[in-house]
Amino acid sequence: TTEKQTLGFQTEVRQLLDLMIHSLYSDKDIFLRELISNASDAVDKLRFEALRDESLYEGDSDLKIRVQVDKAARTITIADNGIGMTRDEVIENIGTIASSGTRRFFERLTGDEAKDARLIGQFGVGFYSAFMVADRVTLLTRRAGTASAQGVRWESAGTGDYTVETVERPERGTAVVLHVREGEDEFLDDHRLKAIIRRYSDHITLPIVMPAADGASETVNKAAALWARPRQDITELEYDEFYKHVAHDFEAPLAHIHSRVEGKQEYTALLFVPRRAPFDLFDRDRRYGVKLYVRRVFIMDDAEQLLPNYLRFVRGVIDAADLPLNVSREILQKSRDIDTIRSGATRKVLDLLAELAEKEPEKYRTFWAEFGVVLKEGVVEDAGNRERIAKLLRFQTTAESGDGVSLADYVARMVEGQDKIYYVTAESAAAARHSPHLEIFRRKGIEVLLLTDRIDEWLVTHLSEFEGHALRSVAKGDLDLKGVGRDEDGPKVAETEEPEWKALSERMAKVLGDKVKEVRVSHRLTESPACLVAGEHDLGIHLERLLKAAGQ
Ligand code: ADP
Ligand code: MG
């Protein structure tokens, strides 16, 4: 259709708009950051698609963002010559909630107006923040490469619905026109807008252009790649704002590394560890990741070849000096140069985490709570860095239920005579703690790791030892605990009594038939009469259960 349609917003969008408009939140400046961020993304997308199809530039490759105030008309216009949107894309992107930031925002809404208003400040919530300062928003757009008759005009007053119609539009890209709300006149001022841009959008690599005092135009931001500037000239605030833009996050990151690497492959990496896991961390088609640039020219988003899968939470930019500008995903997959960059960047991230663990344990705890499960995949996936990753692991143990114990801590407090690291696997820490296998360990004062994540069973099949100490399941094979830890003082089976128990165990073996391999008299139980034990080379009982549940 080309005629004008009136459509309703998705319920969540309506809720969000309501909050935007009525919230008492005072830092409204962020609307500009959000709209400029979208404009910059749109230009990045155009650049990427134009690698394949130059004609998308339509003869205009002078990419920029324009911001303009019309005092008489009471409007602010933010225009880009990026990728633009088709009518369907407008309905899809602007009428519904897809963005990761916005979804997370919803997860955290409390219903308490004051608290939720503060969330807007942290989250920003993208395009809709326009309605904090505007009582009507008009969006004009045309997708690069489509006819000028395929322009789209979208408009809404931010209440229940919006209109879309197909219009003539010669310019490629998107213009967002804010009809400034009564009482928000401070934003109808060039100086005010320039100050906001310098504060929040200085790092945007495109020129952000506004009219200058003499009527000519002026680039307001530095428009220089942040990562290409010397580290000592960059403030924490600049790093934070840059992160928010590349990660589509609204909270500052937990940590970053910024390093220039010379040698066989020259590249600059500016990588961030987020403070919070995105909702799509385990989705196959998750968005965002590390952006690839070649000599400051944007090449692609989410270049998954740049870091291993288990570091998929890392955000940022890698700028390679020696790759060809027309590099494609297919080429990246086979490129040796990328392998070099990837292993270098992986090391840098692991070093950053190790430093965090050592120097900022509070932050490391946050990191571990959010991303620990993902990092564990690295033990399975990345044999070359297995030891490095093993040092970063944290576990609950029978001695500590808090934030987790490192393997090094565990080893440091092993008891007299102990040379193995013991663990128990179960569905939950509570179940693990009740395991009868632990009785003897408790009596002997031996600490045991409680492994309760799904991935842990795989983890221990790949991590057979740590610093020379074998990892050993408490539920497998014969446990030789003689001479380890303090003497157990509870009742136990004396070796001389064993023959007396033989008849009973033979009887039990007969009754259980081929349900069990054998029935043995045990020295490990002190309270429970019996327990199940897996053979030393068998799969763990918990893993067997998981496989069975998965139909294997
Ligand atoms: P996010 O940027 O996190 O995806 P937003 O609410 O800011 O969330 O924007 C929603 C979507 O609308 C974007 O993902 C994009 O697809 C589309 N969009 C917004 N602004 C523009 C623009 N200037 N040009 C093209 N597409 C845009
Ligand atoms: Mg956005």
User: What is the rounded distance in angstroms from the CA atom of residue 142 to the CA atom of residue 173?
Assistant: 5
Whole-prediction pTM value? 0.77
Give the distance (Å) from ligand 1 centre to CA of residue 154. Answer: 14
38 is in an annotated binding site: yes
75 is in an annotated binding site: no
Give the distance (Å) from ligand 1 centre to CA of residue 126. Answer: 7
Nearest Cα to 277, choosing from 59, 521, 502, 107? Answer: 107
127 is in an annotated binding site: yes
99 lines ligand 1 (CB under 6 A): yes
Give the distance (Å) from ligand 2 centre to CA of residue 496. Answer: 75
Residue located nearest, by CA, to atom 20 of ligand 1: 38
pLDDT of residue 214: 86
42 lines ligand 1 (CB under 6 A): yes
Name the residue with higher pLDDT: 357 or 426. Answer: 357
Predicted-assembly ipTM surpassing the 0.95 threshold: yes
| Cβ–Cβ under 8 Å, residues 455 and 374 | no
Model confidence pLDDT, tens digit, residues 244-282: 888 888 889 999 999 999 988 899 999 999 998 877 777
Q: Between the ranges 112-121, 347-356, 452-461, 538-547, where is the mean pLDDT highest? A: 347-356
Give the distance (Å) from ligand 2 centre to CA of residue 248. Answer: 7
Mean pLDDT, the chain, whole residue set: 87
Model confidence pLDDT, tens digit, residues 459-513: 999 999 999 999 999 987 667 777 787 765 555 556 667 777 788 888 888 888 8
pLDDT of residue 82: 97
Neighbours of 430 (CB within 10 A): 11
Q: Which ligand is closest to the CA of 249, given by its number?
A: 1
Ligand 1 pocket mutation, candidates 38, 89, 152, 164, criterion most atoms within 8 A of CB: 38
272 lines ligand 1 (CB under 6 A): no
Give the distance (Å) from ligand 2 centre to CA of residue 35. Answer: 7
100 is in an annotated binding site: yes
Residue located nearest, by CA, to atom 4 of ligand 1: 99
Q: Which ligand is closest to the CA of 176, given by its number?
A: 1
Q: Which ligand is closest to the CA of 78, given by its number?
A: 1
pLDDT over threshold 90, residue 99 = no
The strand order across the sheet containing 290-294 reads: 255-261, 267-273, 315-320, 290-294, 297-300
Q: Mention every residue, 6+ apart, whose C-beta is less than 8 A from residue 156.
A: 9, 136, 137, 162, 163
Q: Mention every residue, 6+ apart, whose C-beta is less than 8 A from residue 248.
A: 37, 99, 100, 101, 287, 288
Give the distance (Å) from ligand 2 centre to CA of residue 402. Answer: 37
| Cβ–Cβ under 8 Å, residues 243 and 256 | yes
163 is in an annotated binding site: no
User: What is the rounded distance in angstroms from the CA atom of residue 274 to the CA atom of residue 278?
Assistant: 9
Atom nearest to 34 CA in ligand 1 = 7
Residue located nearest, by CA, to atom 10 of ligand 1: 93
Give the distance (Å) from ligand 2 centre to CA of residue 305. Answer: 24
357 lines ligand 1 (CB under 6 A): no
User: What is the rounded distance in angstroms from the CA atom of residue 465 to the CA atom of residue 421?
Assistant: 8
322 is in an annotated binding site: no
326 is in an annotated binding site: no
